Amino acid sequence: MSRLPDRSLLTRCEIFVYFGVYIAYIVVGLYKIYGLRDHIAKEAKFQFPDGWSVFPFSQRRRDDSNDELENFGDFISRFWPFYLLHAAIQGIIRWKTPRLQCHAFAAVCAFALGINLDWTSIVILGWLIASYYLVSLATSKLLVWFLSAGWILCINVIQKNVWWTNRVGYTEYVLVIVTMSWSVLRGCSYSLSKMKAKKEDLGRYNLVQYLGYAMYFPCLTYGPIISYQRFVARSVDEQEDWLAFAKGVIRSAIWWLVMQCALHYFYIHYMSRDVRMVEMMDSVFWQHSAGYFMGQFFFLYYVVTYGLGIAFALQDGIPAPSRPRCIGRIHFYSDMWKYFDEGLYEFLFQNIYAEMCGKRSSSAAKFGATALTFAFVFVWHGCYTYVLIWSILNFLCLAAEKLFKTLTLIPQYQQWTQHYLGAVGAQRLYAMLATQLFIPAAFSNVYFIGGQEIGDFLMRGAYLSGVGNYMALCFCSYCFFQCSELLLTKSDTRSKIKTY
């Protein structure tokens, strides 16, 4: 039977070199970013706020240029009592009257939004949530997608409405826009799932269940997206594990604290906004490390936000998606989609890709389904040029990866590599070729994280800075790839998530 090269054949010495290069590049790259801290603070287009009053942070300024992180902090400072209220009420409900769980979900959310939002915001969110329940009664998938297109258009119009933005303020503006975006996915998931359901299961799709799902407060604004299938599969009879819940919340709090402390010394968020700061690094080779840490800080943000929502969902008996996987352990871009945002991947796969093709479909059908999937990703994230570039690069990298894996599984290729290179040589060649896919896939993320200017800059640095630079980049990327392969666990290979 055809199989991929066995990474376990590598020698200990070789493995030591791979991890040595990986760790050395990360440490030196982080040190070089640290060394630019005072230059960045001096040259920045706006002044950073004073650091925390606790020594030694009081002597530093804190990088506050990541709007998403700052908005999340504002959200928590405003809504933290409702997280506590949700946990307390659910503890009582599941102990006394589990059948009222969804009533409580919706009630806490309505209370939290009702006393904090302007009436215009409440009307917008209320109409969005109600519209998907109404359209689900029509049992037309096409109507669901037309409604979704309408709401996505509405989101883009609202974003440009100066009157409404001035009325509610920037903080509420962000909260409503983000909540609407997630609510579109939740509405689609409910409506499309209901249309696929058998007659005997339609009782699980009543109004109360829908409101509990659409108004689940811990995941309402900062995710992750939990499919309706997962939501209705929750177990209200399962004993609550308050220790595991506390660990999940504390884990998110600790990573938030780590990130905030780091932003007193590593101004990586500002570097992602101002390409001049990246240009200040020693060489093009070390500028690549800035892209790596942009990705790592981006990952930490989702560890915090998704981790909080996942902790509450698990405590409420909902089989939530897994927490994001560290990007340092991802070497194929298909894994980035499957394991970084598992909930979004499931939504895209179940409701778009799988609707257009199956396992036995032609390559053309799968190609078209993938293209349509990324078209939706582009529109949902916002119709910006940098999102379009990121979406196209994602699509091309996934298509190239699929072609690469297909070719390496051809018996003639495997026979040739085994005969001329041996098992170890075949594994090395596999990693060398895959590295050429890994490099553009990794840099494509920078477009989404930092925008077009910084994405173009780092991409040019990778491919237009001479053969020597590219060879050095390939060697380091090859080591990263091998390390990621070696860090794969058996649980990863037994993942229940379907793949493209």
Residues annotated as part of the active site: 381
CB 177 within 8 A of CB 158: yes
Q: Give the separation between CA 31 and CA 289, rounded to whole angstroms.
A: 10
Most distant CA atoms of the chain, gap in Å? 72
Of 102, 97, 90, 101, which is closest to residue 210 (Cα–Cα)?
A: 102
Could you tell me the sign of the dihedral formed by the alpha carbons of 203, 205, 211, 213, in that order? positive
End-to-end CA gap in the chain: 21
Q: How many helices (H) and strands (E) does the chain have?
A: 24, 0
Of 424, 462, 472, 425, which is closest to residue 442 (Cα–Cα)?
A: 462
Of 451, 442, 413, 443, which is closest to residue 430 (Cα–Cα)?
A: 413
Backbone angles phi, psi at 188, to 5 degrees: -60, -45
Please write down the HEC assignment for all residues of 296-349.
HHHHHHHHHHHHHHHHHHHHCCCCCCCCCCCHHHCCCHHHHHHHCCHHHHHHHH
Residue type, 275: V
Q: Give the separation between CA 44 and CA 47, rounded to whole angstroms.
A: 7
CB 376 within 8 A of CB 367: no
By CB neighbour count within 10 A (0-12 exposed, 13-18 middle, 19+ buried), where does 163 fall?
exposed
Tokens standing for residue 174: 């962000």
Backbone angles phi, psi at 61, to 5 degrees: -100, 150
Q: Give the separation between CA 124 and CA 190, rounded to whole angstroms.
A: 19
Distances from the Cα of 366 to the Cα of 252, 324, 338, 399, 410, angstroms: 38, 26, 17, 10, 20
Phi-psi region of 239 (alpha: psi -120 to 50; beta: other; left: phi over 0): beta
The Cα angle at residue 79 between residues 76 and 81, in degrees rounded to 5: 110
Bridge partners of residue 50, in order along the sequence? 61
Bridge partners of residue 61, in order along the sequence? 50
In the DSSP assignment, the letter for residue 222 is T
By CB neighbour count within 10 A (0-12 exposed, 13-18 middle, 19+ buried), where does 243 fall?
exposed
